[in-house]
Chains A and B, each alone.
Chain A
Amino acid sequence: MRWRPLAALALLAGASALAPDPAAAQILDRSMTAPRPFGVILGDVFTLKTRVDVAPPFRLDASALPKPGPVTYWLDLRSIEIREESGPNGATRYEIAAEYQTFYAALEAIEQTVPPVKLVVTAEDGRRAEADGASWSFITSPLRPIVATAGGGSSAYSIRPDAVPARPSLRRSEIAAAAAGAAALLALGLLAWSRAWPPFHKRPARPFAVAARAVARQARNGEAGWRGAALSLHRAFDAAAGRRLLGEDLAAFLAARPSFARLEPTIRDFFEASRQAFFGAGSTPMPADDLLSLSKSLASAERAS
């Protein structure tokens, strides 16, 4: 971690180039943190962090820093990151984190040096100054002895075996498919329960759904069918009210069930029609289609209540 004296070159045009180092004022402070400088082997990754304080009108020129790629024949720069924050005395503090990877295949423990990073600062008016960052030396060690130990001869060139592809596992997808299947079954059950489909068709809370099916079966089968359908619908009203429901009780029944209020005129028509059919002249004043649509509307209103 030796720093060269602040011999930053002032490249101010001509005249001041030979003046004794006015550029030292632009780069106020430099320091570097590095990992342990020994026990580094082939393929290791290490990060060198350089901290630079730059005096105000000047800024660090990021484009002058080295780009990721090979630095020397044995060293790669993997990535370089710059963080900027405000430093002491109004200076701008830059933290440069350079990640290197060494490919030096040592035969014996030997010292190697990472070349310094060139720091260039520029000002808006075109002034410019350069300085070298720190170089870092470390001791790199071999992976294997020089003389092949066991076996001799051909084993000197024996390499580690191939990386074998891993057999893909279907477990995750199987679990997801099973969960989706279970969710679909559950949703189907909920729907059947909500609409009183089998096996929930005996549900007491859905008398109109049961009645709607009975009406759909019977209503179009002439006079007798109409009567049967009407009776089924009456039984549904009875079940919903909890007692025999007559035309006179409708107001109280509907007041307790706001979701049926929309259907009130049709319901009254139905009660009137059924009174006519069962106790009156014997005609069927309400067409079978109307009866069918009323029963469906009632079943739907029942689900919504």
Chain B
Amino acid sequence: MTLGLVRSLAPAALLVAALVWLGASLWTLQGERAERDVFDALAANRNVEPPDDASGELLFARAHYLLSRDRIDEAQALVGRIVDRGGPAVAARFHYDLGNARARRAVGAVEASQINKAIPEVRLAKDAYRAALRGDPGLWDARYNLDVVMRLVRDFPEFEAAEEETKAQPKKLWTDLPGRPRGLP
């Protein structure tokens, strides 16, 4: 009886299961196809915003589009989502591209003899390359470029120590102002 019931109902149950699977896989395929359309639009230099539920790789493609146009601030707004959804490997490539964008700005400033503008950009580029290497030590281009920007402005232990000191005493804002006695001459 039980065996008979199974033999009678199994084909219908199998069909339902297969249809559910088919629906799920078509849904996934549809989503990936829509995502690739956005990707292709970005690759064709069209300014397209990725959807809210975009994958880490697509967000990285958007960030790459922005960074190659020197729109660093907009790209940096994507960092949290890229790290969350793309994992360390995608995040490492994002940080590498970010470092490259900073390094391009720094080199441009150096060539225009604006050293004061170059220094903070170099510092940010170094941070970005380090973040890239932390996420993916096998990213050799990041090592090379970190070496290049290190030649622009080197890290020195003395600078670090001096910086930590200033961080530790942020409240001394007024002590260095030249005082001028008022009232009596």
Contacts and interface: CB of A to CB of B under 8 A. Distances in A.
A166 B18 CA distance: 32
A259 interface: yes
Contacts of A300: 8
Interface string A162-206: 111111101001101101110110111011011100000000000
Contacts, number: 157
Contacts of A44: 137
A191 B36 contact: no
Contacts of B29: 170, 173-174, 176-177
A305 B8 CA distance: 8
Interface residues on B, range: 35 or more
B148 A167 contact: no
Contact of B137 (A45, A142, A163, A165): A45
A43 B40 CA distance: 33
Contact of B142 (A43, A45, A191): A43
A157 interface: yes
B39 A187 contact: no
A63 B106 CA distance: 41
Interface stretch (A73-81, A234-242, A286-294): A73-81
Interface string B60-77: 110010011000000000
Nearest to A76: B134
A213 interface: no
A105 B142 contact: no
Contact of A43 (B19, B36, B143): B143
Contacts of B25: 173, 176-177, 179-180
Contacts of B139: 163
Residues of A contacting B: mostly: mixed
A160 B144 contact: yes
Given A143-B144, A159-B145, A177 B160 contact: no
B59 to A, nearest CB: 9
Nearest to A173: B29
A304 B96 CA distance: 65
Contacts of B100: 159-162
A156 B14 CA distance: 66
Contacts of B151: 105, 156
Interface in A58-107: 72-74, 76, 78, 101, 103, 105
Given A144-B148, A160-B100, 4 more contacts: A43-B140, A105-B147, A163-B141, A188-B15
